[in-house]
Structure formats: structure tokens, C-alpha cells
Amino acid sequence: MRTIRIGSGAGYSGDRIEPAIELAESGNLDYLVFECLAERTIALAQQERLKDPQGGFDPLLADRMKAVLSICRKNGVKIVTNMGAADPVAAAQATRDIAKALGLTGLKVAAVTGDDVLEQARASDVALDEGGSVKALGNRVISANAYTGAAPIAEALAGGADVVITGRAADPALFLGPLVHEFGWAMDDWDLLGKGTMVGHLLECAGQITGGYFADPGVKDVQGLARLGFPIGEVREDGDLVVTKVAGSGGQITRATVTEQLLYEIHDPTRYYQPDVVADFSQVRVEEVGPDRIHVTGGSGTPKTGLLKTSVGYLDSYIGEGEISYAGANAVARGRLALEIVRERLTLTGVKMTESRFDLIGVNALHGDALAEGRDPYEVRIRVAGRTDSLAEAVKIGNEVETLYTNGPAGGGGAWKSAREIVGVASALLPEAVVTSSVTFMEA
């Protein structure tokens, strides 16, 4: 039975680059996938594109492509990525230009488009999961991106692409696409599509399955985290999976690391909604078959819903923030006094906030007093954050914290402030019939 080896070269936009180079060189791969697009990242990319028409794709795309294109060409490894973010065509052009500069003549780059559904979302005035509708958001809406599936990725590969660049493709679809292409899986074989989605879900966060984001000293020790290896999925034609990594790389793959990743960002394990299938992870079994070799079986699926999750980006609000630190004797009391002063100042000067937080970092900033009581730290950093309707109003929040330098309690140091525009992301479901994906090829 045929087996395809897929490596995961990035688990998020800002991820390390060296593990991907290691995979391209020594992973004996067929495919290298870079998953670089979160809910948050697509909103930021759309915001970036508003400011700079050339700024809509992943900021590390050029660095990653320069690092791996030549090695992948030499080793016959195809690349699939959603680094296209808000502009897959521009990302593909940039990749083609890098390939040319590297002398990789004939390298074929494909851009998958169609996830940008702003017009369709407006025309159908789609309801938002959080309440309200696209129409109600009016001209505050800046983007709508539907999660597209594996089919256009498989189509690009069938067309001979060496590199496939998508926008808002669903994360597991980046892995399912190559499997559908290589194995000729039918797009209504729900069990196989469910298994392929499980493969993608396990691999998409890269280091999160090889021991990254897992270590807890003395309880869950992991070796070599500074040179963590990224995962390789050995996927059989019947959807069976072994997760492994390059021998000698840092980290570890165990039942525990695989189980944590399987449940990551999952709600009902019997219904993991994807554009191609509703995957079922409830009967998955995880078994160690060798050192850093974990066999995963039992994924399945049921028919897709015909609705695509769509992320609607909109200009939401502004956030102003300020921080300052106190140390030594009575530090927490001085920090609390500082917060009181800022709270009173914001009222006195009439700063209009719709929501606010007053945190003592190192004491209760993460989960409030209930979970952190009974501690007396040596130092404390205060943080004030508020939501406003204008940037000018947001700026005043950080300013009030900064004025503690000469107007607040004794010994405050390290003041910091910021004010920024917030692009909110709301979710909606669009009928797949209104979304048309297409593939554009270009050659170096």
C-alpha cells in the first residue's frame, strides 16, 4: 500500500524556519506544508492590505521560500501553504520571483483564490454567529473570507504545481488536498476525508505535536526544545497514520503529545466541522509503535454540511493600554494605589470607555483574585486596558498610566503605552454554492 510523507513546516505565521529546512533536507518528504493563517492573522492581513496593497500576504513568505525552495526542488518535495493570506496571487508572484532569482527555471507556482467572499457576504446579508448581520455592520466591514476545502488544492497539484499558495483554506485541507490528489480519494468518501482531516489536524500546528507547548518541568519533561523537530505524517492510502520526526531532532512524539494535539481547538469530538467533511475523532486510538513513532487510527467522518465557515473582519473599536512596574517592599500596595489613581483620572478627565481592565501582573492578571490569592510577590506591574470608539480617546488611557512617573506612587518604573485600531472577527456560515475557487498558475 502506498504511503505519502507530509511534513509540517510551520504551525503559525511567526513560526521558526530552521525545522522546516531540516524537514526539507532530511525528512524524505513528498510534501512540505506551511500552516500560517489563524482567525486573527487573516483579519490582520486584511487590515495590512488596506494600508498597503502589496502587504496582504504572510510577512515571512519570502524568508521561508528563500530557505526551502531550492532544497525542495532538489529533493522533489512539493510545497502547500496558506501564506497567501489576504492576497494569494501576490504571494505566488513573489514566490515565482524568488524562484527565478534562485535559478529554479520551470518551477510552477499555483495561487488558489475564491475564499474572498466580501461581495457574496454583503449580497446575501449573512447572519453572524455572534448575532446581527453583515448588513448591520454596514461600511465597518472590511473583509469576508470563507474557509475553502481540499478540492482546489488537489486541482492545483493535478495541474503540476510545485508550490500551492492559498488564502483562507481550512488548516486541515492543506494536508487533505495532497492526499486527495495522490490517492484519488473520492470527495464523498466521508470516512477517508475524515481520516485525512485528522491527519491535517494533528500536523497543522507543527511543533505542538513533537513536544512543543507540552513541557512541564518535573512532570512532562521534553529534551531539546531549542532545536525542536517538526512532525512528519506517514499517511497510507487507507488513511492510516504514523506521526514521526527527523531522527536526532529535539522534542518527542508520545501518546500524550498526540492526544493533546488531537483535542486542540476541538469542540464536539464527533462533529469537527470542515468544508469537505464533518470529521469524527471520538473513536481515535493512539498507540506507540516505536521511539517517536505514534500510530493513530479510528478517525472517520460524516457528510459535509454544505455551509462554509466565513470570517468577517470589521472595524470594531480601539484599545488603549498602559503599564508600569513597582518592586520591593510594599510593591503590591503601591501598584493597587496606582490603579486607583488611573481609574479616578480616567473618570475625572471624562475618557469614554465601553469596557476596561485594571490588572496587577504577577498577581491576578490572568485569572483574577480567586485563583491567585494568598501570594505576596516582590514586584508587580500594573496594566490598564480600555476599549474606546476613537484612537484619540484610546491614546488618553496610556497617557494616564505614563503620568504616574511624576504624579503617582513612589518607585514606578518602565512605563509603556500603546493605542491601536481593532479589527474584529465575526463568524458566519455561507452556502458553498456562492463560493467559487479558482487556480492560477505561473512559472519561474
Query: Binding another protein by CB under 8 A: which of 37, 91, 286, 338?
Result: 286
User: Of 150, 154, 146, 143, whose CA–CA distance to 115 is shortest?
Assistant: 146
Task: State the Cα–Cα distance between residues 144 and 118, nearest whole angstrom.
Answer: 5
The CA distance from 440 to 112, in Å, is 7
Residues 119 to 138 in contact with another protein, rule: CB under 8 A: 129-130
Binding mask 29-58 for another protein (x = CB under 8 A): ---------xxx--x---------------
3-state helix, strand, coil in the chain (%, to 5): 35, 30, 35
Instruction: Give the residue among 63, 58, 53 at the shortest CA–CA distance from 83.
Output: 58
Candidates 108, 168, 387, 396: give the one binding another protein (CB under 8 A): 387
Site string for another protein, 237-266 (x = CB under 8 A): -------------------x--xxxxxxxx
Q: Report which residue type is found at 122.
A: R
365 is a site residue for another protein (CB under 8 A): yes
Residues 420-439 that bind another protein (CB under 8 A): 422-425, 427
Distance between CA 196 and CA 314 in Å, rounded? 33
Within 216-235, the residues that bind another protein by CB under 8 A are: 216, 219-220
Asked if 342 touches another protein (CB under 8 A), the answer is: no
DSSP state of 60: T
**Residue 158 interacts with another protein (CB under 8 A)?**
no
Q: Does 338 bind another protein (CB under 8 A)?
A: no
Considering only 20, 385, 401, 419, the residue that binds another protein (CB under 8 A) is 385
Among 319, 324, 404, 435, the residue binding another protein under the rule CB under 8 A is 319
Least distance to another protein, CB of residue 130, Å: 7
| Closest approach of another protein to the CB of residue 96, in Å | 32
> Does 386 interact with another protein (rule: CB under 8 A)?
yes
Is residue 316 a contact point for another protein (CB under 8 A)?
yes
Cβ partners under 8 Å of residue 440, min gap 6: 89, 92, 110, 111, 113
Q: How far is the CB of 287 from another protein (least distance, A)?
A: 11
- Least CB distance to another protein at residue 264 (A): 5
100 part of the interface to another protein, by CB under 8 A: no
Alpha-carbon 102 to chain mean position: 29
By CB under 8 A, residue 86 contacts another protein: no
Instruction: Assess 268 for contact with another protein (CB under 8 A).
Output: yes
Give the CA distances from residue 77 to residues 69, 207, 424, 435, in Å, rounded to whole numbers and listed in that order: 9, 20, 37, 30
Residue 259, amino acid:
T
Give DSSP secondary structure letters for 8-56.
EEESSTT--SHHHHHHHHHS--SEEEE----HHHHHHHHHHHHH-TT--
In 3D, which of 266, 280, 229 has the Cα closest to residue 251?
229
Interaction between residue 375 and another protein (CB under 8 A): no
Beta bridge partners of 177: none
Stretch that binds another protein, among 13-21, 172-180, 231-239, 380-388 (CB under 8 A): 380-388
Is residue 391 near another protein by the rule CB under 8 A?
no
Smallest gap from residue 19 Cβ to another protein (A): 20
CA 65 to each of CA 79, 157, 219, 328, 431: distance values in angstroms, whole numbers, following the listed order: 10, 18, 38, 49, 34
Q: Are strands 78-81 and 163-166 parallel, antiparallel or unpaired?
A: parallel
Q: Which of 103, 368, 413, 414 binds another protein (CB under 8 A)?
A: 368
Does position 289 bind another protein by CB under 8 A?
no
Q: How far is the CB of 153 from another protein (least distance, A)?
A: 22
Give DSSP secondary structure letters for 328-393.
STTHHHHHHHHHHHHHHHHHHTT---SEEEEEEETTTTTTHHHHHTT---SEEEEEEEEEESSHHH
Residues that bind another protein (CB under 8 A): 38-40, 43, 129-130, 213-214, 216, 219-220, 256, 259-269, 281-286, 298, 316-317, 319, 355-357, 359, 361, 365-368, 370-371, 383, 385-387, 422-425, 427
